[in-house]
């Protein structure tokens, strides 16, 4: 089976893959994976990496700390310290490898609320888009130093769910979860070595649920259960997802070339429909509204344009950047809902103005649009 070649992908790298199940980074494996990523990037595919491994890498650094015995093993503070110690090692390793390919990397640590708060969601999206536009590879991780939920196993789960949320945030074409497992099996292959691999999943039903188990060791915090959670997010977002083994030679190249390997989750929902649903779910919570003139109404409904300030005639209610707002015609008829790039105070100042005048009117610039078309849902 051949699949469409992606334009933008998110690759999540698991702890066991990056450390070979040990207490230090597996440089040979990271080099192999990074070389593949450099290759596909140079072929025109944009790449974001969600990397685990900081906590495991921190164990090696901790062993060199003279007062290491002061940390109580098993506590959240202990794992936070390991994450802080391991992050520099992890990023330095990626930097050394990618710099040899002439590729810049950028670190982005994301805490719990960053993709739940709409304003911070927009900031994350804009930052990642800016990094991709200059040819850099963003490398993301849950901010373990301040966000204890992932460390305690309560939130993302070894970055699996985080990677799916990032893929949705940047409109990725494909999400790849790489670990030391070759995909989802009907039974646990650690118990049953002859267990059959499930190649394609189009619906997460009871049989798929039963096949997913929690982590089989204490190195990572994920396992197939958290990968299934990631698959739900990806499929609801209209993004295909592949679970594969990073130990398979040229696994990333194989997947990006459209060949079947591992377990592929296929969504029946387009990304545009998914984004529309996401915005529409919050429409009952909208903080305010803007009324637009006839020309803007036509441009939004028939041409699929973004909402520019010049087409806005009035502002109602109080809202902040990132809030969901209603867009209406002058007579109050609803056109749609979207994420505001500017606050109500700022929109009041820039309504009817050209986009080029925004920096002068509000003192800063979040973009030419009050609502970008990607963040606008029409009924």
199 shares a domain with 299 = no
With a cut of 90, say whether residue 348 has pLDDT above it: yes
321 within 8 A of 340, measured Cβ to Cβ: yes
User: How many domains does the chain contain in total?
Assistant: 2
CATH number at 132 reads 3.40.1160.10
With a cut of 90, say whether residue 322 has pLDDT above it: no
Of the chain, the percentage scoring pLDDT greater than 90 comes to: 55
Of the chain, the percentage scoring pLDDT greater than 70 comes to: 89
pTM listed for this prediction: 0.77
3 domain-assigned? no
Last residue of one domain, picked from the residues 269, 290, 322: 269
pLDDT, tens digit, 9 for 90 and up, residues 133-169: 999 999 998 775 555 554 444 444 468 888 988 998 8
What residue has token string 């997010």? 233
306 shares a domain with 240 = no
204 shares a domain with 297 = no
350 shares a domain with 205 = no
The number of residues in the chain equals 379
Distance of alpha carbon 320 from alpha carbon 163, whole angstroms: 27
Q: What's the rounded mean pLDDT across residues 227-249?
A: 92
26 domain-assigned? yes
pLDDT, tens digit, 9 for 90 and up, residues 16-71: 899 887 778 899 999 999 999 999 999 999 999 999 888 877 877 776 777 666 77
283 shares a domain with 191 = no
199 shares a domain with 81 = yes
- For the ranges 39-43, 179-183, 206-210, 237-241, the one whose mean pLDDT is highest: 39-43
Confidence band, pLDDT 50/70/90 cuts, at residue 113? low
Give the pLDDT confidence score for residue 68 in this predicted structure.
63
Give the pLDDT confidence score for residue 332 in this predicted structure.
94
331 domain-assigned? yes
307 shares a domain with 237 = no
What residue has token string 């049989």? 207
286 shares a domain with 195 = no
Last residue of one domain, picked from the residues 236, 269, 302: 269
The domain in which residue 123 lies consists of 8-269
218 domain-assigned? yes
1 domain-assigned? no
Average pLDDT, the chain: 87
Last residue of one domain, picked from the residues 211, 238, 269: 269
What sections of the chain are H helices per DSSP? Answer: 15-19, 27-42, 54-62, 76-99, 118-133, 148-151, 160-169, 206-211, 224-236, 251-256, 271-280, 294-302, 344-350, 358-362
82 shares a domain with 228 = yes
């Amino acid at each position: 089976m051949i699949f469409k070649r992606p334009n933008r992908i998110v690759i999540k790298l698991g702890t066991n893959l990056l450390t070979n199940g040990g207490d230090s980074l597996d440089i040979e494996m990271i080099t192999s994976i990074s070389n593949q990523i450099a290759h596909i990037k140079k072929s025109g595919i944009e790449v974001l990496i969600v990397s685990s491994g900081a906590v495991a890498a921190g164990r090696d650094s901790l062993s060199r700390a003279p007062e290491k015995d002061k940390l109580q093993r098993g506590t959240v503070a202990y794992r936070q310290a390991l994450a802080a110690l391991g992050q520099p090692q992890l990023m330095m390793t990626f930097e050394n490898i990618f710099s040899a390919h002439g590729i810049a990397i950028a670190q982005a640590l994301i805490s719990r609320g960053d993709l739940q708060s709409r304003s911070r969601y927009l900031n994350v999206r804009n930052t990642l888009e800016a990094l991709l536009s200059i040819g850099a590879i963003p490398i993301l991780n849950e901010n373990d130093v301040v966000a204890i939920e992932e460390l305690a196993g309560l939130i993302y789960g070894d970055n699996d769910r985080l990677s799916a949320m990032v893929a949705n945030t940047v409109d990725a074409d494909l999400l790849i979860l790489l670990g030391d497992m070759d995909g989802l099996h009907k039974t646990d292959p650690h118990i049953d070595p002859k267990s059959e691999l499930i190649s394609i999943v189009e619906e997460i039903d009871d049989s798929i649920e039963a096949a997913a188990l929690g982590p089989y060791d204490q190195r990572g915090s994920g396992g197939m259960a958290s990968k299934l959670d990631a698959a739900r997010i990806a499929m609801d977002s209209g993004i295909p997802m592949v679970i594969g083994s990073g130990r398979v030679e040229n696994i990333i190249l194989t997947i990006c070339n459209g060949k079947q390997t591992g377990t592929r989750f296929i969504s029946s929902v387009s990304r545009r429909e998914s984004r529309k649903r996401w915005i529409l779910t919050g429409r009952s919570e909208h903080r305010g509204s803007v009324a637009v003139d006839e020309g803007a109404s036509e441009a939004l409904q028939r041409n699929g344009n973004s909402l520019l300030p010049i087409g806005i005639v009035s502002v109602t209610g109080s809202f902040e950047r990132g809030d969901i707002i209603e867009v209406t015609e002058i007579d109050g008829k609803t056109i749609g809902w979207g994420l505001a790039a500017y606050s109500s105070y700022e929109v009041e100042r820039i309504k009817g103005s050209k986009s080029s005048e925004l920096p002068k009117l509000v003192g800063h610039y979040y973009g030419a649009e009050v609502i970008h078309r990607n963040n606008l849902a029409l009924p």
